[in-house]
Amino acid sequence: MKRTMGWNLTLAAGLGFFVALVGLPFWWVVSGSFKLPQEIIARVPTMFPQSFTWQHYDKLLSSSDYGTYLVNSVFVSGLSAFLTLLLAIPAGYAFFRLEFRGRETWYRVILLAYAFPSIVVLIPLFTMFAKAGLVDTRLALIIVNVAFALPFAIWMLRSFFGSIPREIEEAARLDGGPPLTVLRRIMIPLTAPGIAAVAIFAFVTSWTEYVFASVMILSDAKRTIPVGFSGIIGQYQVDWGLLLAGASLAILPVVIVFALIGRWFVTGLTEGAVK
Amino acid sequence: MKTPIRMLLAGSMLAIPAQVFAAPVEVTLWHMEQPPHRVERIQMLIDEFNAANPDITVSQEPQNWGEIYAKAPAALAAGTGPDMLFAIPDFAPILKEMGALTSLADFVAELDAEHDFVDSTVEAYSYDDGVWAVPLYNMTLNLWYRKSVFEEAGIDVPASWDEWRAAAETLTADGRFGMGLPANKQLYTDQTVYSVMVNGGASELYNEDGTLRFDNPETVAAYDFYNSMMEFSPPDATSWTWGEAEACFASASCGMVMQFTVISTYENQAEGDAADLGVAAIPTKDGSDDNATIAYANAVMLLSQEEAEREASKAFIRFLLQPENYGRFLNMEPGLFMPVTADGAEADSFWNDPVVQEYREQIETVIANGQNGKLFGFTSGRVFPAIAAISAQNVLAETLQSVVVSDMAPAEAVTAGQARMEDLSR
């Protein structure tokens, strides 16, 4: 079917609009982080920097604990994503493949974890963690992040397992493969795009988690980026350059994760297509 | 290890004086001054104190105002709270209601005799037969402007509401807004609204018997005036907090703003001329010189129940309030934190800071404006605990939003505001 010029233009305009909607705020933040303070707060904002400076990054990394917050965030988010996958893959497969009493009920019940806003369980969890000696530990954040990411991850993965043709799995089982071997050798490679999506979801959820990180962690040296950074910015007086530099750096690890896992995501899709 | 060697070691241990083994008393300070330069300044003072007091070890854990209202009670309940915690007047009643505070009346009296506190700062924590925190620094809202902009526009510093409105109208030109005023449901708006209210005869939220008197003609007039000034404020002011207002002023997009200070941003980000920065008292309704403003007497509470920790905490507070240290403590953010003691207001350690020297004229005006500082709910010498909930829910700002955003008549909005306060007080 041949598209008309008008239709192409409409599509391009629509695409351009959404690219601008998503991309412009990022451009604003990243380009602003290299501007001199006067240009950042200028009455008429500049789309393209008229000045260039590293001073905000220099100040951020030399006079604050931003580096520590960054390392904490990478550690907490990375481990949270890994543990989420470690638990969600067999759980998702079990909900998909194994027959057991109450399977469908449990499958729905696990999503109840999402029915409660995190603020509702914040204080009870704090008290429980305090009794267990987990307050002010990064382990506490990892446990909370995994607990909150796991239900949705299981849901997503069960759907991905369900999209694999039954014949492929049956062929493997006929060759004598036990369920765990079938999962490891057949199902996991075939659901790589789904696993990548869940990994990204779990990582980003942990990366941006604020409520528990702000209350569970008491000492500065264990804070993650969202909480530590909000403190650096200040309340009454905002250093806008510092804010933009910190926000730009905070995006970076997420972009790297997308780049690394995203490649795997695409590879998984194309491999499936060729086969 | 062979037995004779063990015995020899045991004997030598007994010979060492007991104080060598006495571990220093460890106390933790939680404060909400998180920006790195403030943390660094507090750490510098802590290091000096620890070096001079080897039997005490103070450490700091900066916290965030956004979470402290939930975090501190939870931490105290779980036994993981600090020994010292910074406070503002409407935060202290929450911890007092929990039974976490014991009166510091004797300690405050001792410090008052030595340093002479500004009375209003102690009064903000004096109720129910006790004094619940030690005042540390004051913050007051003022009217900031550029002298050159006023001169160019041919206007004088406004003294009355009519003059203030006329000045804002004159300054609103060429893409500039005459007055940067917030209308967000947030603490900054509570502060700006109340600063207008106190200058319009509506400083009292409570009657003598503890019933609310928010709904009165003076309050309605204050909201009406504030709403009329929004015409000269940027359209995004309904989502402003302190930072946006300050940026608006620093970029010369706003002719005037009400702020605790703009000095740091004006100096470091706008590279403004100190001689051109003007600060004045917030205008009164009738133009009288009986100006008032909102004032936050920040203080420190003692939370530890152990005598050793309490005494160690008191030693640290005594150290902070010594004039040779106090100025350096206040100047963790020059121009923002004002002294609450008479000797602190004269201390070289305060006035010798380079930024304070450069902006001495403005800072002296801010200190003078603070003499008639008030805080809603803490004005009559009696504090009703419900004020903490009213403050936490930003009811003053919420009422303004009803007027500015929802176009409700000021009288109707104020009536609804009082009903909301009564709900929260139950």
Rounded Cα–Cα distance for residues B196 and A272 (Å): 68
Q: Which class in CATH covers the domain with range B142-281+373-377+384-424?
A: alpha beta
Adjacent-strand bridge partners of B256 = B145, B179
Rounded Cα–Cα distance for residues B21 and B18 (Å): 6
For B252, which of A43, A136, A219 is closest by C-beta distance? Answer: A43
On the question of pLDDT at A19 being above 60, the answer is: yes
Pairing of strands B293-302, B134-140: antiparallel
B139: which chain A residues are within 8 Å (Cβ-Cβ)? 236
For A41, which of B40, B78, B247 is closest by C-beta distance? Answer: B247
Residue B101 sits at φ, ψ, to 5 deg, of -110, 145
A215: which chain B residues are within 8 Å (Cβ-Cβ)? 67, 70-71, 74
Q: What is the CA radius of gyration of chain B?
A: 24
| Distance of alpha carbon B151 from the chain centroid | 32
The CATH superfamily of B5-139+296-358 is Periplasmic binding protein-like II (3.40.190.10)
Of the candidates B337, B339, B334, which has an alpha carbon nearest to the alpha carbon of residue B355? Answer: B334
Give the pLDDT of residue A272: 46
Asked if residues B328 and B41 have their Cβ atoms less than 8 Å apart, the reply is: yes
Adjacent-strand bridge partners of B139 = B296
Q: Nearest C-alpha of chain A: how many angstroms from B12?
A: 37
Give the pLDDT of residue B132: 96
Q: What is the CA radius of gyration of chain A?
A: 23
**What tokens does A40 get?**
């950042």
Give the pLDDT of residue A41: 86
Per-residue pLDDT, averaged over A112-135, amounts to 85
A214 has a chain B CB within 8 A of its CB:
yes
Q: DSSP characters for chain A? A: -PPPHHHHHHHHHHHHHHHHHHHHHHHHHHHHTTS-HHHHT-SS--SS-SS---HHHHHHHHHSSHHHHHHHHHHHHHHHHHHHHHHHHHHHHHHHH---TTHHHHHHHGGGGGGS-HHHHHHHHHHHHHHTT-TT-HHHHHHHHHHHHHHHHHHHHHHHHHTS-HHHHHHHHHTT--HHHHIIIIIHHHTHHHHHHHHHHHHHHHHH--HHHHHH--SGGG--HHHHHHHHH-SSS--HHHHHHHHHHHHHHHHHHHHHHHHHHHHHHHHHHH-
A39 has a chain B CB within 8 A of its CB:
no
Q: What is the pLDDT of residues A162-201, one digit of tens each?
A: 888 888 888 888 877 787 888 888 888 888 888 998 999 9
Provide the 10 A C-beta neighbour count for residue A20.
11
Rounded Cα–Cα distance for residues B156 and A157 (Å): 69
Asked if residues B285 and B220 have their Cβ atoms less than 8 Å apart, the reply is: no
Could B39 and A220 be called an inter-chain contact, meaning their C-beta atoms sit closer than 8 Å? yes
Asked if residues B121 and B299 have their Cβ atoms less than 8 Å apart, the reply is: yes
Could A220 and B270 be called an inter-chain contact, meaning their C-beta atoms sit closer than 8 Å? no
B243: which chain A residues are within 8 Å (Cβ-Cβ)? 233-234, 236-238, 240
Asked if residues A77 and A228 have their Cβ atoms less than 8 Å apart, the reply is: no
Q: DSSP characters for A54-115? A: -HHHHHHHHHSSHHHHHHHHHHHHHHHHHHHHHHHHHHHHHHHH---TTHHHHHHHGGGGGG
For residues A118 and A39, the model is more confident at A39
Could B70 and A136 be called an inter-chain contact, meaning their C-beta atoms sit closer than 8 Å? no
Measured between CA atoms, the residue of chain A closest to residue B176 is: A43
Q: Which of B64, B91, B191, B253 to mutate to test the interface with A (most CBs of A within 10 A)?
A: B64
Give the pLDDT of residue A265: 63
| B152 secondary structure, DSSP code | H
Could B270 and A41 be called an inter-chain contact, meaning their C-beta atoms sit closer than 8 Å? yes
| B275 secondary structure, DSSP code | G
Could A37 and B270 be called an inter-chain contact, meaning their C-beta atoms sit closer than 8 Å? yes
> If interface means Cβ-Cβ distance under 8 Å, which residues of chain B face chain A?
32, 34-37, 39-40, 61-67, 70-71, 74-75, 77-80, 139, 175-176, 241-243, 246-247, 250-253, 259-261, 264-265, 268-271, 333, 336
Could A230 and B260 be called an inter-chain contact, meaning their C-beta atoms sit closer than 8 Å? no
Provide the 10 A C-beta neighbour count for residue B112.
17
- Give pLDDT < 70 ranges for chain B: 1-22, 381
Rounded Cα–Cα distance for residues B224 and B220 (Å): 6
Rounded Cα–Cα distance for residues B291 and B377 (Å): 19
Could A42 and B176 be called an inter-chain contact, meaning their C-beta atoms sit closer than 8 Å? no
In the block, residue with structure tokens 């809603």: B376
Of the candidates B299, B300, B303, B250, which has an alpha carbon nearest to the alpha carbon of residue B277? Answer: B250
| B139 secondary structure, DSSP code | E
Rounded Cα–Cα distance for residues B323 and B349 (Å): 7
Give the pLDDT of residue A259: 83
Q: Nearest C-alpha of chain B: how many angstroms from A75?
A: 21
Distances (CA, A) of A243 to A32, A53, A246: 10, 14, 5
| B331 secondary structure, DSSP code | T
For A43, which of B64, B77, B251 is closest by C-beta distance? Answer: B251
Rounded Cα–Cα distance for residues B307 and B285 (Å): 50
A-B C-beta contacts closer than 8 Å: 111
Measured between CA atoms, the residue of chain A closest to residue B74 is: A123
For residues A2 and A224, the model is more confident at A224
Give the pLDDT of residue A266: 61
For residues A118 and B147, the model is more confident at B147
A122 has a chain B CB within 8 A of its CB:
yes
A225: which chain B residues are within 8 Å (Cβ-Cβ)? none
- Domain ranges within chain B, ordered by starting residue: 5-139+296-358, 142-281+373-377+384-424
For residues A235 and A257, the model is more confident at A257
Of the candidates B124, B39, B379, which has an alpha carbon nearest to the alpha carbon of residue A231? Answer: B39
Which residues have C-beta within 8 Å of that of residue B23, sequence separation ≥ 6? Answer: none
For B80, which of A130, A232, A239 is closest by C-beta distance? Answer: A130
Give the pLDDT of residue A164: 85
Q: Nearest C-alpha of chain A: how many angstroms from B417?
A: 26
Give the pLDDT of residue A111: 79
Q: What is the pLDDT of residues A21-57, one digit of tens each?
A: 999 999 999 999 999 998 998 878 899 999 999 999 9
Give the pLDDT of residue A1: 59
Q: Band the pLDDT of A97: cuts 50, 70, 90.
A: confident
Question: Do B142-281+373-377+384-424 and B5-139+296-358 fall under one CATH topology?
Answer: yes
Calculate what percentage of chain A has a pLDDT beyond 70: 95
A63: which chain B residues are within 8 Å (Cβ-Cβ)? 36-37, 40
3 state SS of B159? coil
Give the pLDDT of residue B15: 45
Q: Nearest C-alpha of chain B: how many angstroms from A216?
A: 8
Of the candidates B69, B64, B81, which has an alpha carbon nearest to the alpha carbon of residue B28? Answer: B81
Which residues have C-beta within 8 Å of that of residue A255, sequence separation ≥ 6? Answer: none
Rounded Cα–Cα distance for residues A199 and A153 (Å): 9
A214: which chain B residues are within 8 Å (Cβ-Cβ)? 64, 66-67, 71
Asked if residues A64 and A230 have their Cβ atoms less than 8 Å apart, the reply is: no
Of the candidates B141, B142, B176, B171, which has an alpha carbon nearest to the alpha carbon of residue B156? Answer: B171
Measured over the CA atoms of residue B332, residue B336, residue B339 and residue B345, the dihedral's sign is positive
3 state SS of B378? coil
On the question of pLDDT at A70 being above 60, the answer is: yes
Could A127 and B78 be called an inter-chain contact, meaning their C-beta atoms sit closer than 8 Å? yes
